[in-house]
Amino acid sequence: GAGVSQSPSNKVTEKGKDVELRCDPISGHTALYWYRQSLGQGLEFLIYFQGNSAPDKSGLPSDRFSAERTGGSVSTLTIQRTQQEDSAVYLCASSTTGKNNQPQHFGDGTRLSIL
């Protein structure tokens, strides 16, 4: 079946511009996660959505970062007034529920480059 889909796969933009990154989770998965992976680094948790519960935003690095999930499916991560340090691969994952012990399945990410 279809996996987690992310778009665009690559995004190049100028410093100061806003960007929107999209994630389509696996159908039926109620939990959705965003992570950031800087060059040669591990994955850093950003935000987590589970059903209709309030999202866990504890990993967002600044108030320039926000995310929403409409209709319990598609999610958009928005970065306002981008900075060069925002350059990274942004990865989305989904799981069947948000409980511990549920495997998270990742998309291939959006590679964001800020000039």
Partner 1 sequence: GENVEQHPSTLSVQEGDSAVIKCTYSDSASNYFPWYKQELGKGPQLIIDIRSNVGEKKDQRIAVTLNKTAKHFSLHITETQPEDSAVYFCAASITRGKLQFGAGTQVVVTP
| DSSP helix/strand/coil, 85 | helix
Give, in order, the Cα–Cα distances in Å from 42 to each of 35, 39, 58, 89, 91.
Answer: 10, 9, 18, 11, 11
The reply to whether 56 sits near partner 1 by the rule CB under 8 A is yes
Span interacting with partner 1, options 20-28, 62-70, 72-80, 90-98, rule CB under 8 A: 90-98
Nearer to partner 1, 73 or 80 (CB): 73
Report the residue from 34, 107, 112, 114 that binds partner 1 according to the rule CB under 8 A: 107
Answer for which of 33, 65, 69, 79 binds partner 1 (CB under 8 A) is 33
Question: How far apart, in whole angstroms, are the C-alpha atoms of residue 52 and residue 105?
Answer: 20
Q: Are strands 31-37 and 43-50 parallel, antiparallel or unpaired?
A: antiparallel
Interacting residue with partner 1 among 42, 63, 71, 84 (CB under 8 A):
42
Q: 65-69 and 10-13 as β-strands: parallel, antiparallel, unpaired? A: unpaired
Q: Which residues bind partner 1 (CB under 8 A)?
A: 4, 31, 33, 35, 40-45, 48, 50, 56, 59, 91, 95, 97-109
